[in-house]
Amino acid sequence: MDYRLTVPFGLCFALMAAVSLITTVGVFFLQPRENRNVFKACAETFGAVFILNMLPIFILTLFVFFASGHAFTACCTAAFSVLLLAAVNRYMSELRFAPFKPLDILLSAEFFGVAKSMKTSVFVMFGSAAALFFTLIFMGLIFIKNGPVGFWTRITGASAAAVFFIAIVKTIYANKKIYGSLPVYGDKSDENMHMQSKGFIYYYLNIINKSKVSEPNFYNEFKSKITVKEQASVNRQEKILKPNIIMVLSEGFSELPLNPGLLFDGFTDPLFNYKKIKSESISGQIIVPRVGGGTSDTEFDILTGINTRDFNNLPFSFRLIKKQFPGMASALAANGYKTVCMHPGSGWFYRRKTVYPFMQFKNFIDIDAYPKKEYSGGYVSEKTTMDFLIESYRNHLQKNTDENYFAFCITIQNHGPYAGKYGANKNFGGEINFTSDEIDSLSNYFYGLADCDRELLRLTQYLKKTDEPSILVYFGDHLPTMSPQIFKKLLPNEKPAPFNRLPYFIWANDAARGIIETACLQTPLPRVMSAHYLGALILQLTGMDEADVLLKFLNEIRNKYPIVTEDQFTDAAGNLSDIDLYRQTDIALHKAWGYHRIKK
């Protein structure tokens, strides 16, 4: 006797529609930050946003139903798969402040690298959800059945669902007019605001159509002009005095401790030395591509002069470099510099071991070449990194070679997440109301930042003692991996991209100070600029930007368009406007030029 509950064939579709609706609501609630935005968008668009998010879930459920012949299995499988994807989106957004994208599977190694710092409860939750899913499937197969579905009906239905899904992804979900007509609440330069307003499922399927390098507008019109300019590069520029250049990308470095609501009386000021060094330097802010992650994208922007935001739907921009690639390093190499990159981590991370030689760094040095390794907070210590950098520079000077020296050094000690990272006790005061978890994250972050500050002082003290002209460029790659609530309490709500603003300074020892000071009198600088201008600026200050025509072009337009995001720019007066490529032709040329270098 069959004791299984039988669901009539016609009722199966009503059941699948109901589960799809509930799953859609569940996805909305799993979205990070203020999920009310998507509900607001659903109301303002008379349900269009809701339908655009629910329709793919329903079609997926239909596909599994016809493929398996079992409605309950289809409902469980589709709901679990979609909710799992939404949960991954939530936690990836909290780690790096950007939505989960189709090609992010390529970043799985990076995720597992930081997963050890995540709370155990997260893994318990995912494990429990998986156990529940398999239990429901097992129980459903035993106790629930539906009316028979013929073999050819299943084949036809599954094929039709698959074809229909592909068709709408390539048409409706690729349509720029539909995407642009839907509201975005908040900063338009923030990918999270798009996902929060339009819904994760719709956003995700829209990104599928953009996960490739597409030819930008006006490329054909600019192609001949770009080719002529590329041929005009000067391979070597004679200059009486060329300074050695050291660039340090400091992991998670920021000026969060400078918020007036934080006090360090009785504690270690984590930026004590930095503030003094900055007062002796050229300084400002750069707008970096990512928040809370994506270090290599900041490296890419600074060293190539190309804006990662023009290719924002790839998991990381170093994937674009697959051959010899011009930029800051090649310009300096052409001017007699020994070009070295130092990274105290695995060379395969973000393809650095392959990419840096393509960018014409003569030496790429990863963790395997570091003779002594001390660890702090789970990563190679700041002291180890600075020991190696100083020793490498000292060895270069002792060789008494005619080569100048350019080192691009990446630090990683203060990589997040920060919960319990160093076991630090509360090390700051002030009147800002933080939760206990926020206090823990900030205390551990400030503990690591104090290490960076101490090693920064040691580096400048060494450079002061050298007779060789030396300049130091120091900057952060992205904000630390913390909750958005912390940043809302500590950062001003500046537009565009308030969470993408990081400090930089350019410091010179006595032998190089005259070079920099003279150049600065001739080079007005914006207070805030996009990160892809920084490498070009260094070449301009040292009189070598003729060696790369794209970087020279950036120096010509930097003050006209100091900040350029995906869709907006600021002018010299700081006014924020939407980009119109018919009017902002210099921005259009830059986009075309970046594509040309990637594809030529």
52-64 pLDDT, tens per residue?
A: 999 999 999 999 9
Closest Cα partner for 195 from 58, 111, 90?
90
Q: Which helix (H) or strand (E) holds 50?
A: helix 48-68
Residue 1 scores a pLDDT above 50:
no
Residue 519 scores a pLDDT above 80:
no
Q: What is the mean pLDDT of residues 79-106?
A: 78
Q: What is the rounded distance in angstroms from the CA atom of residue 338 to the CA atom of residue 333?
A: 6
Q: Which residues have C-beta within 8 Å of that of residue 75, sequence separation ≥ 6?
A: 15, 16, 19, 61
Q: State the pLDDT at residue 236.
A: 59
Q: Which residues have C-beta within 8 Å of that of residue 13, sequence separation ≥ 6?
A: none
The residues that bridge with 407 in the sheet, in sequence order, are 246, 340
The residues that bridge with 248 in the sheet, in sequence order, are 409, 474
131-170 pLDDT, tens per residue?
A: 665 565 556 556 556 666 777 888 999 999 999 999 999 9
254-293 pLDDT, tens per residue?
A: 999 999 999 999 999 999 999 999 999 999 999 999 888 8
Residue 123 scores a pLDDT above 70:
no
Closest Cα partner for 202 from 172, 163, 181, 177?
172
Q: What is the mean pLDDT of residues 377-401?
A: 93
171-191 pLDDT, tens per residue?
A: 999 998 999 899 988 777 677
First to last CA, the chain: 71
Q: Which residues in 67-180 belong to E strands, given as ranges?
A: 144-146
548-586 pLDDT, tens per residue?
A: 999 999 999 999 999 999 889 999 999 999 999 999 999
Q: What is the mean pLDDT of residues 240-258?
A: 93
Q: What is the rounded distance in angstroms from the CA atom of residue 562 to the CA atom of residue 1?
A: 76
Looking at this protein, which amino acid is placed at residue 554?
A: L
Q: Which residues have C-beta within 8 Å of that of residue 436, sequence separation ≥ 6?
A: none
Least confident of 349-353, 354-358, 404-408: 349-353
Give the three-state DSSP class for 523: coil
Q: What is the mean pLDDT of residues 301-320?
A: 87
> Helix H segments across 558-599?
585-599
Query: DSSP class of residue 499?
Result: G
Q: Report pTM.
A: 0.81
Would you say the C-alpha torsion 303, 309, 314, 320 has a positive or negative sign? Answer: negative
Q: State the pLDDT at residue 131.
A: 65
Binning pLDDT at 50, 70 and 90, where does residue 334 land?
A: very high
